[in-house]
Each structure stands twice: as C-alpha cells, then as structure tokens.
Amino acid sequence: MTAKEFELSNKLIFLMALAIGVIVADLYYLQPLLHQVSHDFSISSSKASLLITLVQVGYALGLAFVVPLGDIIPRRRLLVSIYVMAASLMAGAAMIHSFNLFAIMSLFIGLTSVGGQVIVPFAADFAKEAERSRVIAKVMSGLLLGILFSRTFSGLMAQALGWRSVYWIAAGLLLVIAVVLRFVLPEEVNRDHLQYHELLYDALSFIRTHHHLRRRAYFGFFMFATFSAVWTVLSFHLAIAPFNYSNATIGLFGLFGVAGVLAANLTGTQADKDRLNLTTRVSGLLMLASFAIFWFGRSQFIFLGIALILLDAGMQGMQISNQSIIYSLAPQKRSRINSIYMVSCFLGASAGSFLAGHLYQNYAWAGACVLGIFLTTAIVIPTIFWKAPKRFLSQVGEPLV
C-alpha cells in the first residue's frame, strides 16, 4: 500500500491510537511501582524518583534527535525500528538487578518511547483539513489511555506477578505492534532531501520564526512539569498512613485519568471551531484548582480522586489546544515542529519529577502541592494575556512570525 492509496479510516485511526498507547505506556509503568522498586534496590524515595527523571530525559532526547527523522525517513520503516528497539530494552530491564544499570536502561527506554510522537504528525498529514483537530484528538486518546491504563496495569501485574513482569509483558506487546505497523501503514517516499544536521538546525529555527510555537512550548513545559510532579510522588503518598495502599490499589488511581480522554475529544471539537483561547484558559484553571483540592483533601481518597480528574482533564485539554496550533504552522515539517514542542514538554516533565522527588523527601505531600501551585500559576497568568489567533485554523500556510 502506497501513501497515495492510504485512507485514514476509523480502523486505521484506532490502530494508530492503539500503537501510541502501547509505547507511551513505557514512560509510566514505573510510577505506581516506585515504592516497591526503592525497596527492591534498597534506595531512598528521592533516588527512586530519579528513575522517572531519567526516563523523561531519555524521552526528551528521543524527541530532539529521533522524532525529526520522520520528516526525511519513511515513517513506517522508522516506526517498526523504534518499536523493536523499545521491546528489546524493556526485556533487558526486566533482567537487571543492579540499580545503576537499571537507571541507564531507564534512560534508553525513554529514548525509544517516542514512537507515538512519530505517529501523531503522520495522522495529521493524512487528515482532512476541517477534521484535523478531531483526528489528532482521536489518536491522542490512545496516548491518554496508554497513560491511564499503564499505571493500573503495572499496579495489578506487580501485585500478582512482581514488578518485573510488567516489563516482560510490555516487551511482548511492543513486538506485536511492530508487526502490525509493518502491514497497516503505507510506505512513504522520502520527502525532504536534507542532511541530518540540516534537519536539526531547521527544527531549531522554528523557535525563532514562530512565536505561536514558543508560546505553546512554554505552556507544554509547565503543564508536563505539573503532571509529572504529582504522579512521581503519588505512589509514596498512597503507600503510607492513612492510606497504606497496595500496588494494585495505587495502580487503580490511574483510572481517574479517564476524564482526560473525554476532555481531549471535547477540546478537539472546540478547536475545530476556533475556540482555542477559551479551551487553553479553562484547562489552566482546572489544573490550578486541582492543587487546591490536593492540598486540603490530602488525607481523603475522594478528594484526591477529584483532584486527579481535574488535573488530567486540564492537562489533556491544553495538550490538544497546543497541538492543534503547532500542527497548522508548517504542514510539511510537522515532525520537526512536534519535536521542538515535545522536547519542551518533557524537559518540563523531567524538572517536575526531579523537584517533586526532593521536595517530597523533605516536606512530604505539602511540598509537592506547593510546587504544583507554583507551576500551574505560571500557566494560568499568561493565558490572561496570550490569545490564540482568531480563526487560526483557517490561516494555515500564512506566515505566523
């Protein structure tokens, strides 16, 4: 099947979403297991949280140096290679009993978890112009569900079979997806004849020439820092009094993120109606409100659940708004633009998990809440002054500098 014969049917959108969910889950399997991993390797909570930072740093490196290749290498070939390498690394991590080696492996797991960020601009390329935001929202639902069920799945599997079983099962799933992608995606021709260093330089030039990308990268940095800060320390908070929850119960907290899936699809519909400024502002306020509830309801199951719902809904609503804008900037260079944007996001995620780990070590849950309030305030204040361009989606192809 060639690119010209390729039609973005609902079945293909579903398969793309599934593939994204399977590989992005590699970034989050570890979060509900940190307390068990810290016990297994006999390390402190702050040192265990460093593993999350390393995964996210690896992901940022992959976004910077691997994702842009989607603009010059046929993406089916690139994706199959990424999924096979990711499967090999997950299997390797399952066999390691040295913390230092496991930490290095975590960095490379993050590096190879970028397959979803190659698929999203792929789907955007084949979507009809009037439906692009909704198509992005649908494939992003796979990412959200991957995040959502990764935590629940890892908690349940760790409870039943040990935390290493999570890595073995993930490796098998990645190999299956690699085979599926080989047969369902079209074989593209090389699109741009650039040297690798020219590709990276061109990607960096977008930061200077597109102020909409700079703004959305700013939102992405603080949004992911906020999200990562909460999920990095949540398992520690839930594993001690007054909760004393098991791995399985901690993993089930991921199900509160279903609100993010609903928010993403709603935002996609609103984005196609050019209501990006409204969705950005509302999303920021939801995230800020979540930390007020995290603070006052820190010892109550129901309040923590409500706060997680608001946080995920706000984050995913803003993510779809951001991507709806950046994918309209330069249609032929979406992989490079997505790379710049997502590097900013996961640099934020790395910073959030690092700071949260250290603050939790010294100030417990209160420290994480104060950090979250600071980060979400940095999101909300600019939304008052930064406005999405009117009729933005109808201006595709116009210079936005």
What digits encode the pLDDT tens for the residues 155-209?
889 888 999 999 999 999 999 999 999 998 877 665 556 777 777 887 788 888 8
- Residue 389 backbone phi and psi in degrees, to 5: -65, 140
Mean pLDDT of 93-105: 94
Task: Tell me: pLDDT of 399 over 50.
Answer: no
Task: Tell me: pLDDT of 3 over 60.
Answer: no
Q: Of 226 and 72, which is predicted with more confidence?
A: 226
Work out the angle at residue 349's Cα, subtended by the Cα atoms of residues 207 and 40, and round it to the nearest 5 degrees: 150
At 215 the pLDDT is 92
Q: Of 131 and 307, which is predicted with more confidence?
A: 307
3-class SS of residue 343:
helix
Task: Tell me: pLDDT of 358 over 80.
Answer: yes
Nearest-angstrom CA–CA distance, 51 and 354: 9
Mean pLDDT of 227-252: 87
CB atoms < 10 A from the CB of 268, how many?
A: 25
Domain positions in the chain = 10-395
CB atoms < 10 A from the CB of 95, how many?
A: 12
Q: Region of 42 please: left (phi>0), alpha (psi -120 to 50) or beta.
A: left
Q: Of 137 and 163, which is predicted with more confidence?
A: 163
Task: Band the pLDDT of 236: cuts 50, 70, 90.
Answer: confident
Q: Give residue-wise pLDDT tens across range 11-56.
A: 889 999 999 999 999 998 998 888 888 889 988 888 888 998 899 8
At 263 the pLDDT is 64
Q: Region of 10 please: left (phi>0), alpha (psi -120 to 50) or beta.
A: alpha
Nearest-angstrom CA–CA distance, 207 and 308: 32
Task: Tell me: pLDDT of 273 over 80.
Answer: no
Q: Give residue-wise pLDDT tens across range 104-131.
A: 999 999 999 999 989 988 887 777 777 7
Nearest-angstrom CA–CA distance, 206 and 227: 26
Nearest-angstrom CA–CA distance, 343 and 335: 12
Task: Tell me: pLDDT of 328 over 60.
Answer: yes
Mean pLDDT of the chain: 84
Task: Tell me: pLDDT of 286 over 80.
Answer: yes
Place of tokens 């690699």: 178
CATH of domain 10-395: 1.20.1250.20
Q: Is the peptide bond before 242 cis (omega within 30 degrees of 0)?
A: yes
Nearest-angstrom CA–CA distance, 367 and 195: 46
Amino acid at 262: L
At 396 the pLDDT is 41
Nearest-angstrom CA–CA distance, 158 and 39: 13
For the chain, report the end-to-end CA distance as a whole number of angstroms: 38
Q: Of 65 and 1, which is predicted with more confidence?
A: 65
Residue 307 and residue 318 in contact, taking contact as beta carbons nearer than 8 Å: no
Work out the angle at residue 126's Cα, subtended by the Cα atoms of residues 121 and 130, and round it to the nearest 5 degrees: 100
Q: Of 396 and 147, which is predicted with more confidence?
A: 147
At 129 the pLDDT is 72
The DSSP call for residue 68 is G
Q: By mean pLDDT, which of 91-95, 241-245, 279-283, 284-288 is the weakest?
A: 279-283
